[in-house]
A and B are shown apart, each in its own frame.
Chain A
Amino acid sequence: MKRTVLSGLSLTAIFLITGLLLPKWLQFLCTMAAANGVVSLGIVLLMRGGVVSFGQGLVFAGGGYAAALLSNKLGVTDALLLTAAGGAAAVLMAAPFAALLARYRGIFFAMLTLALSMVLYGVLVKTDALGGSDGFNMHRPTLLGMRIADAWSGYALYAIAVCVCGLLGTAARVYFDSARGLVSLAVRENELRVEYLGASVARVMAANFILAAFLGGAGGALAIMALGHIEPNFSYWTTSGEFVFVAILAGHYSVLAAFAASFLLELVRSFSSSYFPNTWQMALGIFLLVVIRFFPRGLGSLLKK
């Protein structure tokens, strides 16, 4: 475990330093990749237990809106605080459903999570106080009490995102290597046996759901701080679909792979909107098929070898 923490710290440091050298557009790309990567990491966590959530948008939007509201309405502007708050809000949203969802598998789990995220979407679109389908903008966050100068805002957000990712990524790795993490993998393989060995599968799955929610919410808060704007689309099924895409691409073995996959998606997304606006989704689709066919355990499985 010490090794994990050390590598987490060093990677964070490396990214922080290289970030200073990157052009602004790449900094922003990485920031978004990091934020979205955290959300997809939540799905990876769930996948280790054998279920795929098609409704991560629920907690993504939940965390985002919570952060935005705290910032705009209650004047809480510290970026780190908002990230934590986003995660906490998401956990509050997900907690009532955790015990219920812990009993579902396969398509039904996917559909129920999808339905929940779409309910939120419907609510958000019709809630004019929250800006309806246009959403609303968010005030600029501060960092540790200091206002962030315009010239530094890109790097500041990048640094915040990298630090949060380093922290959450390391925590995730520790969790994956823990007893619970291993038993989650066992549940994915043979939950009957796990029950007969004395562990509560339902409790493991519920805990996983809540942890995934925290990741989704924290990522949502980060994303909205980077974008400056939030809208109901954060909870739409196509958004959830993209997180699933990244999670599948990454596979369920490696935390790093989740961020790498997220970066890949952001790269493709930003390049294509300039050069191939009409074919990038097709490219993604084909790419996904290739991954499913030839690397069903995700790219992370390559790292494992």
Chain B
Amino acid sequence: MALGLTLVFGVLKILNIAHGSFYAVGAYAAASFVGWFAAAGLPPWTSIVALLLASVAVAALLAPLVERGLLRVFYGRDEVLLVLVTYALFLILEDATKLLWGANPYFVSAPYALFGNVQVGAQSYVGYDFALIAVAVACGLGVWWGLNRTRTGKVVLAVIHSAEIASSMGVNVSRVYTFAFMFGIFLAALGGALTAPMISVQPGLSVSVVIVSFAVVIIGGLGSIEGAAAGALIVGLARALAVHTWPPAELFSIYLAMAVVLVFRPEGLFQRVKARRI
């Protein structure tokens, strides 16, 4: 999730409040897809495919619409203004999802049981959780590799560095923007789709998740891939630590970490963006 957010920020310089909404849409879409697959009588293992397809569908359908139809109108304007635009988008998507899928919760159980249980020492863990971690790591590595080792990736990096210079060198910047946004949304939707089996998919998903991803991205550094990974790790650890040592701190530990990072090292742990402060 954070990976997508930081990618969108790095390339388009937009901090996307609606990112969580795409996560939710991904989750809902996943619920639908899995439902359809099951109704079609397909075996349970295909539910994984359903999840993936759902994310791709969301990205392919929504992303170009949003990017071209909406964000493009406001490019070049103040960064906070763009955040407000994404806030408006968030409001719109909140209701859109409610309209499309209704207010009742969905349960996507099929994929969760697929990986069975794993014995580690005395504890029994659900295999799905491990698979999820594996996917997250794979995504992170994949994006890193894609950016640094492939030709397209290098073009994207150029745009991240300076859209103006890249454009004067012949790069089709608007296409890079569309692509980056689509990929970022795909990651958000994927996050939602893969998490769907673990939770109940209902309205309000996007609200809580987007703030956490903000925290992750701020801690790691806006625009930095390694930062997103590090940030996610730190947030997860902070939360776990809080739950074990001082439960009341669980909720605010994340935001406290975010505040601390902003105070002492606003650029995040892996600097990419110079913090706008005096």
Residue numbers of A with Cβ under 8 A of B are: 52, 100, 103-112, 114-116, 118-123, 125-127, 191, 201-202, 237-238, 241, 244-245, 248, 278-282, 284-286, 288-289, 292-293, 296
On whether the beta carbons of A107 and B94 are closer than 8 Å, the reply is no
A41 to chain B, nearest CB (A): 18
On chain B, the number of residues with a Cβ less than 8 Å from chain A's Cβ atoms is: 48
In the bound complex, residues from chain A placing their C-beta under 8 Å from that of B92 are: 281-282, 285-286
Smallest Cβ distance from B156 to chain A, in angstroms?
21
A-B contact pairs, 24 of them (CB 8 A): A103-B277, A104-B266, A105-B276, A108-B275, A109-B276, A110-B83, A112-B259, A112-B263, A115-B215, A116-B255, A118-B211, A119-B256, A122-B256, A191-B278, A201-B278, A241-B87, A278-B98, A281-B95, A282-B91, A285-B87, A285-B89, A285-B94, A289-B89, A293-B73
A108–B266 CB distance below 8 A: yes
The answer to whether B147 has its CB under 8 Å from any CB of chain A is no
Q: Does B61 contact A (CB under 8 A)?
A: no
Does B15 count as interface, using CB distance less than 8 angstroms? yes
A211: min CB distance to chain B, Å: 20
Taking a contact as CB atoms under 8 Å apart, the answer to whether B256 and A280 are in contact is no
Instruction: Assess whether B80 is in contact with A292, with CB atoms less than 8 Å apart.
Output: no
B214 within 8 A of A: yes
Q: Which interface residue of A110, A202, A281 has the most chain B CB atoms within 10 A?
A: A281
Contact of A122 among B73, B78, B79, B251 (CB under 8 A): B251
- Known contacts: A106-B79, A123-B252, A285-B88. The answer to whether A112 contacts B96 by CB under 8 A is no
User: Bound state CA distance, A123 and B218, in angstroms?
Assistant: 21
Known pairs A112-B263, A122-B255, A202-B278. 18 more at Cβ < 8 A? A103-B277, A104-B262, A105-B276, A106-B80, A107-B276, A108-B277, A118-B252, A122-B252, A126-B251, A191-B278, A278-B99, A279-B99, A282-B91, A284-B91, A285-B90, A285-B95, A293-B73, A296-B81
A292-B276 in contact (CB<8A): no
For A123, the chain B residues whose CB sits under 8 A away are 248, 252
The answer for the CA separation of A168 and B103 in the assembled complex, in Å, is 41
Q: Is the CB of A103 within 8 A of B15?
A: no
Are A114's CB and B214's CB within 8 A? yes
Q: Knowing A126-B248, A191-B278, A281-B94, say if A111 contacts B262 (CB, 8 Å).
A: yes
The CA of A244 and the CA of B81, in the complex, are separated in Å by 11
Identify which of B83, B85, B96, B98 contacts A107 (C-beta below 8 A): B83
User: In the complex, are the beta carbons of A288 and B88 less than 8 A apart?
Assistant: yes
Contacts of A104 in B (CB 8 A): 262, 266, 275-278
Q: A107-B80, A288-B87, A288-B91 are in contact. Are A119 and B266 (CB under 8 A)?
A: no
Are A285 and B251 touching (Cβ within 8 A)?
no
Report yes or no: A121 in contact with B91, Cβ–Cβ below 8 A.
Answer: no
Contact of B91 among A52, A103, A116, A285 (CB under 8 A): A285
